[in-house]
Structure 1
Amino acid sequence: MNVKAAYRLGAFLVVTLPMMVAFQNCSALDMGPAELRTGTPVVTEEVQQGQKLYVENCASCHGSVKSTAKRSRTAEQISIAIKTESQMRMISLSQSELELIAKALSPESYNPPPVVNEDNRQEFACTPGQLQKTPMTRLTNREYKTALFALLDDFATTLKSDATLVSKINAIPTDVATENRDTLKEQSLLMTAPISNALFESAFRASELVAGATTGLRNYPNTGQCLNAGSITQSCHQLFVKELGSRAFRRPLGTTEANEVAARFWDASMSKSELLQVTFTGVATMPDFLYKIYDRGSAVVGSTTVLSLSAHELATKMAFFLTGAPPDTALKALADNGQILDDTVLAQQADRLLGTAGAKDMIRRLFRESYGYDVFDRLQYDSAFINGVNTSGLGEVMSAELDGFFEEVVLNRSGTFQDIMTSRYTNATDARMGVIYNVSAVTNTLAEDRSGFLSRAAMLTKRSGFTASPIKRGLSIVEHVLCQDIGLPPPSAPTSLPVLTEDMITTRYRTAHSTEASGTTCVGCHSRFNTLGYAFEGFDSFGRSRTSETIYKNNQALGSIPVDTSYTTKEITGNSVSGTGARQMSEQLGMSDRAMMCFAKHLKRFEARIPADTNANCQMNRSLTTLYGKDGTQGSIVGAIKSLVLSPEFRRWKY
């Protein structure tokens, strides 16, 4: 590239790349951090009193009540902390004042409790017409790759296989980060200078490939083969930008807008190759390509902050949500003629997209982000304990089993929520999984104790070593399956269980006596979720079935004691339920309103890329109603996904 071309591209990027980073700063559209996390709080007089007391006594150390890590602390926990933490002992509060602070920290203070509908099912409290603010999210790395490849396919389908391009795309800093506890989520509210620089590097390599695609340039649509000439005229360049921009921005560009974009890159002194490189790189680094922007629709009657999505915006939003890719040819055509705005056509296209390969990837990411089964501690075991099984790469094998489970049960079988909680399907073929599941060869159907995804190896190996962890197993369920806010442990919480004097005791006994003892800082939270983990004591730390637990001391087996898998909990339904073992608990969770409401939250969060707030409650109720089904028969998860797409809220943009 000559000096003039480099200068022009450099000048464009000097403006554009900082704008990409700064652009992200307004991506939440003036939503503060607390609004993104919790939605609009429900503030009663008691909550206001509790907030005032919190500010006076707690905020200086623990931060704002809207962002503190002390959410969901009970009056008892606060009282214990005041008595045991040296820096808090000067605080003097009555029992009623402690209860007011606890109320201010409770989930109900920032999220209204569910209501009971006419079918006696719980649902989200909502006011008709509510709409969550729409974030200005950038394409995730996964979506960026599919979008860039789609542009290259218009020139030659082989370009996306270029090793240098693939390497540069893979070098984009990861946008997958730990959010909450043990869950990896794609972060599309994230733009940094390293990310923007890597996006430019990828776009520029793609531009080099495009400049060399002779046949693709000659046949590029709506350019009258003018790109076949040895040099490019300004009018030809304008035609090229209009077509490329329409495809990159996922909406038609008018002549005036296209010419304005083209003027940024036009330089008659550049060679054809250089002009193509500058133009393609520039278009592929503009916010209209890198971000999901839905601001071209008309204003909704009666609102000054809500726009209806245009046909192309609706097609784009649905395509990225259901497939992680921009609209394909069929969807573009329906957007061009406006038919995509018809409910029947939209439903048909949702069905079609859910049958594509992209939908499989969407399901994989949805359930990984919802339930965190792709997050592992290091699988470190004594070789004798696991009979010499090679654990290299085993975590990925375990995750892949559940990827295949959800793909089959949700997509291929149109499964219900109860199905994912109780199905015994597996497609695992790795012999190591056969060892864990105690079968000579893994078949499509596992034993009854493996009902549902919670009883699979990826969910059970939450701590390696000789003993399983009912704490980690229970915490995973209460937070990710039931969406109950536990919060972080207090600073004084031990990092390991205290050593009890008895040698021959089960892990359950040790856990209960260490964390559920009255008067400790642990009891308030652990009494809520430990019992959920106890139901899975029928599996050891490697995920193998067992009826007794071998007790170890200094890596030596002392003997074994029968395990106890009984449980009693209020977390599943809000009322006390009891049972024995993982299978029974999974069946109860499969029918739980709380668990299905939690999944509806996960689904909305996955679509919007930000946590659902109370303004999304009406839309989530549409998915929830589908999950509940009719006459005792649950609706499919695919149906719940479609319900979200077909909701009026999905067609709108709120700023």
Structure 2
Amino acid sequence: MGITKSFIRTLFSKSGAVSILLLPMVLAFQNCGRFETLPEGINTAASNDGSNNGGSTDLPSTTNPTPTPPPEVLEGKVLYTQNCASCHGPVESSAKKSRDATQITLAINSIPQMGAIRLSASQVEAIAAALTVDMNNPPPVVSPANRQEFACTTGVMQKTPLVKLTNREYRGALFALLDGFATTLKTDATLVAQLDGIPTDIATVDRDTLKEQAMLMTAPISNALFNSAFRAGELVSAATTGLQNYPNTSQCLAAATITQACHQLFVRELGSRAFRRPLSTTEANAVAARFWDSTLSKADLLKLTFTSIATMPDFLYKIYDKGTAVAAGSTVLNLTAHELATKMAFFLTGAPADATLKALADNGQILNDAIISQQVDRLLTLAGSRDMIRRLFRESYGYDVFDRLQYDAAFIGNINTTGLGDVMSNELDNYFVEVVLNRSGSFLDVMTSKYTSATDTRLGTIYGLSAATNTLPDERSGFLNRAAMLTKRSGYTTSPIKRGLHVIEHVLCQDIGLPPPSAPSSLPPVVTEDIITTRMRTARATEVAGSSCAQCHGKFNSFGYAFENFDSFGRFRTMETIYNGSQAVKQLAVDTSVTTSEITGSSVSVSNSRQMASELGNSDRAMMCFVKHLKRFEARIPADASANCQMNQSLKTMYGDNVTQGSVVGAIKSLVLSPEFRRWNN
């Protein structure tokens, strides 16, 4: 009988390795000090140091230094690290910024996972003080060009989290290993089913935004990764031609039986590909010794070896700790050539370095600025870059999240809504790929382009199109005026609150926080004695001077009012039909004119959402927000003040020459070209 999954697990146990049937992947190869055996289902974010001191680099000058926090904030940071950081990340980049004491107390009392936390009222107040935005991110400064920039201390960089490959990255990495044997192996139906069965790593991180969870490792995930690796091992063991021609093995794998020397050559080549760096003979022989068993058949030995290597942390995690320190005593390491090539490839294409990058890493040329620049340009032309752009913008602006798409059939003209959410999201996926990648568009272009790839007739009906087109009417300029962004609430009436909240949180990065428990979940019903527009009803319910609602709603309701030219199904209108239940009772003219100081810090007046999108396209605040999204996407944790210097480089690229904006692709490239991208802060 051939080797089985349970047999491999038994061999893992005999060799002293950790059984990934029961535990997350923690077996280290040449990284034993970094990995410990973790309890089942633990989030690996909890194993990171909760502090984030930024570490000094070889550029120790201090520009715009961050002031020392007051004692209560320092106490709050300690309490947060002890009680909150394992779930919500370090305080400097916490997913719960701006939460006040009332909200924290409510969470402790109502969320089961927090039931064991015991804090006094003063301790909760201290944590709330530590979570205020100003305590962790100093306010922007104004550059000589009169543009806002992130306040930064030169030479400081954000700590580098230890993250696993996301599901899409893991798939690409496993396929890359299989391609070394035969490019057809990755199409195996059983393998594809195993990969599709890996529990999703996409979940809600903040309001209405789904993000890949690169720090999450649970028993179900590790089991699914094991099953995928095992199936891949079965395919490799049967790939006769691929084994015979496997590089750097002198065709020894073509023999009926494998000698120990041949096995060592196989491990060295496979390990170098899997760990994304060359392995020395000593390293390869050490890991080969764990799995060498002369009693096993050739197929079983290959199955065991491949499965084992494809479940080691050096394959499953992004580890960049082989370089030298930038200065004596520094925690910051310069990436090696292969580490840099790997980091660039995963960031820009979601897959390991291809042959071109590997060759440039082998000869060290990838460390040259001009070569890096050329390779960024090349990588951004590959198919993987399109998927990177889709995920970046989905995670930045949350257009793939819907409350629901449930409408009265007569209200929407009997349109079938099955799968319509995906159609809406895919329109914006294609929009960002076209505007950002294909056209090298600026941030203003992102906010104002009229391009569309909409071919679904249902979307055409929503947009009022009588024929297929790649250009939408003026009122649809930019992505904010598309169906995916407008259908944030089903029903007869719009929700200026939800639409406005989405803009201020995701386009301007202002964390509004949760409403108080006493806040109503809907507007008062329409009564025949008081038939007014949704805008007026919203203002009366949430913006009364002196009320507990006015302070927050006064910031973001106006963004929602600008979209009142669109009904709840995203269709353009100039008149709002007022409903009493399901009964239409009157039509009233919509008012989309708003004045707000949230876009620039000074009062700005616009007549509609198209003008608002244009103002946002030129807004320092909106561009700074996007750069934060970009850095979070690259690092897999929210950006804190220690990332400000690196983010400034992307921001300045987007600003351009103060007359013509730079491209978004240029901002992505600037991030890669920054000194911080080429380093690991331990």
Question: TM-score, normalising length from structure 1?
Answer: 0.91
Relative to structure 1, the CA distance from residue 157 to residue 105 in structure 2 (aligned partners, 3 Å threshold; closer, same or farther) is: closer
Equivalent residues of 1:475, 1:529 under 8 A apart? yes
What amino acid is aligned across from residue 31 of structure 1 in structure 2?
A: D
Corresponding residue number in structure 2 for 1:506:
533
Equivalent residues of 1:43, 1:110 under 8 A apart? no
The answer to whether residue 160 in structure 2 is matched with residue 160 in structure 1 is: no
Corresponding residue number in structure 1 for 2:116:
none
What amino acid is aligned across from residue 113 of structure 1 in structure 2?
A: P
Relative to structure 1, the CA distance from residue 140 to residue 243 in structure 2 (aligned partners, 3 Å threshold; closer, same or farther) is: same
The answer to whether residue 348 in structure 2 is matched with residue 325 in structure 1 is: no
Relative to structure 1, the CA distance from residue 652 to residue 100 in structure 2 (aligned partners, 3 Å threshold; closer, same or farther) is: closer
What amino acid is aligned across from residue 10 of structure 2 in structure 1?
A: Y
The answer to whether residue 11 in structure 2 is matched with residue 8 in structure 1 is: yes
The answer to whether residue 385 in structure 2 is matched with residue 359 in structure 1 is: yes
Distance 1:552 1:115 in 2: 48
Distance 2:316 2:267 in 1: 17
| Counterpart secondary structure, 2:164 | coil
Distance 2:45 2:126 in 1: 35
The answer to whether residue 545 in structure 2 is matched with residue 518 in structure 1 is: yes
Corresponding residue number in structure 1 for 2:154:
128
Deviation at 1:13, TM superposition (A): 8.5
Distance 2:134 2:609 in 1: 30
Equivalent residues of 1:297, 1:307 under 8 A apart? yes
Equivalent residues of 2:442, 2:654 under 8 A apart? yes
| Counterpart secondary structure, 1:20 | coil
Equivalent residues of 2:323, 2:336 under 8 A apart? yes
Deviation at 1:576, TM superposition (A): 1.5
Deviation at 1:503, TM superposition (A): 4.2
Corresponding residue number in structure 2 for 1:436:
462
Over the matched positions of the two proteins, sequence identity in percent amounts to 66
The CA deviation string for residues 281-321 of structure 1, in whole angstroms up to 9 with x for no partner, is 00000000000000011111244201000000000000000
Equivalent residues of 1:627, 1:634 under 8 A apart? yes
**For 1:148, which of 174, 177, 202 is the aligned residue?**
174
Corresponding residue number in structure 1 for 2:31:
none
Equivalent residues of 1:568, 1:578 under 8 A apart? yes
What amino acid is aligned across from residue 335 of structure 2 in structure 1?
A: L
Distance 1:122 1:213 in 2: 58
Corresponding residue number in structure 2 for 1:635:
662
Corresponding residue number in structure 1 for 2:205:
179
| Counterpart secondary structure, 1:568 | strand
Distance 2:17 2:672 in 1: 38
The CA deviation string for residues 588-632 of structure 1, in whole angstroms up to 9 with x for no partner, is 000000000000000000000010111000000000000000141
| Counterpart secondary structure, 2:594 | strand
Equivalent residues of 1:42, 1:109 under 8 A apart? no
The CA deviation string for residues 370-398 of structure 1, in whole angstroms up to 9 with x for no partner, is 00000112100111111111111000000
What amino acid is aligned across from residue 7 of structure 1 in structure 2?
A: T
Distance 1:289 1:71 in 2: 37
Corresponding residue number in structure 2 for 1:653:
680
| Counterpart secondary structure, 1:409 | helix
Distance 1:632 1:399 in 2: 32
Relative to structure 1, the CA distance from residue 613 to residue 50 in structure 2 (aligned partners, 3 Å threshold; closer, same or farther) is: closer
Q: How does 1:48-59 map to 2 (within 5 A)?
A: 48=71
**For 1:274, which of 300, 312, 316 is the aligned residue?**
300
Relative to structure 1, the CA distance from residue 73 to residue 513 in structure 2 (aligned partners, 3 Å threshold; closer, same or farther) is: farther
Deviation at 1:179, TM superposition (A): 1.1
Corresponding residue number in structure 1 for 2:110:
none
Corresponding residue number in structure 2 for 1:465:
491
Q: Which runs of 5+ in 2 are unaligned?
A: 27-36, 55-63, 105-119
Corresponding residue number in structure 2 for 1:496:
522
Distance 1:292 1:527 in 2: 43
Deviation at 1:109, TM superposition (A): 2.5
Distance 2:359 2:98 in 1: 49
Equivalent residues of 1:184, 1:368 under 8 A apart? yes
Equivalent residues of 1:250, 1:316 under 8 A apart? yes
Aligned length: 630
Distance 2:623 2:329 in 1: 32
Deviation at 1:196, TM superposition (A): 0.7
Corresponding residue number in structure 2 for 1:568:
595
Equivalent residues of 1:185, 1:369 under 8 A apart? yes
Distance 2:543 2:386 in 1: 42
Relative to structure 1, the CA distance from residue 520 to residue 11 in structure 2 (aligned partners, 3 Å threshold; closer, same or farther) is: farther
Distance 2:135 2:378 in 1: 42
What amino acid is aligned across from residue 257 of structure 1 in structure 2?
A: E
Relative to structure 1, the CA distance from residue 481 to residue 70 in structure 2 (aligned partners, 3 Å threshold; closer, same or farther) is: closer
The CA deviation string for residues 411-433 of structure 1, in whole angstroms up to 9 with x for no partner, is 00000000000000001100111
Distance 1:55 1:520 in 2: 34
Distance 2:610 2:187 in 1: 46
Question: Higher mean Cα deviation, 454-463 or 10-19?
Answer: 10-19
Distance 1:602 1:69 in 2: 16
Relative to structure 1, the CA distance from residue 596 to residue 68 in structure 2 (aligned partners, 3 Å threshold; closer, same or farther) is: closer
Relative to structure 1, the CA distance from residue 161 to residue 2 in structure 2 (aligned partners, 3 Å threshold; closer, same or farther) is: closer
Relative to structure 1, the CA distance from residue 74 to residue 15 in structure 2 (aligned partners, 3 Å threshold; closer, same or farther) is: closer
Equivalent residues of 1:572, 1:595 under 8 A apart? yes
Distance 1:486 1:48 in 2: 25
Q: How does 1:250-329 map to 2 (within 5 A)?
A: 250-329=276-355
Distance 1:397 1:234 in 2: 54
What amino acid is aligned across from residue 567 of structure 2 in structure 1?
A: D
Relative to structure 1, the CA distance from residue 55 to residue 9 in structure 2 (aligned partners, 3 Å threshold; closer, same or farther) is: closer
**For 1:601, which of 628, 632, 635 is the aligned residue?**
628
| Counterpart secondary structure, 1:128 | coil
Distance 1:541 1:639 in 2: 36
What amino acid is aligned across from residue 577 of structure 2 in structure 1?
A: T
Equivalent residues of 1:35, 1:613 under 8 A apart? no
Aligned residues: CA RMSD: 3.1
Equivalent residues of 1:323, 1:356 under 8 A apart? yes
Deviation at 1:14, TM superposition (A): 5.7
Distance 1:70 1:200 in 2: 36
Deviation at 1:490, TM superposition (A): 1.2
Q: How does 1:352-431 map to 2 (within 5 A)?
A: 352-431=378-457
The answer to whether residue 39 in structure 2 is matched with residue 31 in structure 1 is: no
The answer to whether residue 144 in structure 2 is matched with residue 118 in structure 1 is: yes
**For 2:562, which of 521, 535, 555 is the aligned residue?**
535
Distance 1:50 1:338 in 2: 46
| Counterpart secondary structure, 1:215 | helix
Distance 1:442 1:20 in 2: 50
| Counterpart secondary structure, 1:221 | coil
Corresponding residue number in structure 2 for 1:626:
653
Deviation at 1:575, TM superposition (A): 1.4
The CA deviation string for residues 427-462 of structure 1, in whole angstroms up to 9 with x for no partner, is 110011110110112311100001100000000000
Corresponding residue number in structure 2 for 1:334:
360
Corresponding residue number in structure 1 for 2:585:
558
Equivalent residues of 2:97, 2:133 under 8 A apart? no
Relative to structure 1, the CA distance from residue 495 to residue 51 in structure 2 (aligned partners, 3 Å threshold; closer, same or farther) is: farther
Equivalent residues of 1:41, 1:109 under 8 A apart? no
Distance 1:156 1:102 in 2: 56
Distance 1:213 1:270 in 2: 18
Corresponding residue number in structure 2 for 1:81:
none
Equivalent residues of 1:12, 1:282 under 8 A apart? no
Distance 1:242 1:173 in 2: 31
Relative to structure 1, the CA distance from residue 537 to residue 375 in structure 2 (aligned partners, 3 Å threshold; closer, same or farther) is: same
Distance 1:5 1:73 in 2: 51
Corresponding residue number in structure 1 for 2:25:
20
Equivalent residues of 1:28, 1:135 under 8 A apart? no
Deviation at 1:492, TM superposition (A): 1.5
Deviation at 1:521, TM superposition (A): 2.0
Deviation at 1:485, TM superposition (A): 1.4
Corresponding residue number in structure 1 for 2:242:
216
The CA deviation string for residues 458-487 of structure 1, in whole angstroms up to 9 with x for no partner, is 000000110111111100000000001111
| Counterpart secondary structure, 1:195 | helix
Question: Higher mean Cα deviation, 175-184 or 14-23?
Answer: 14-23
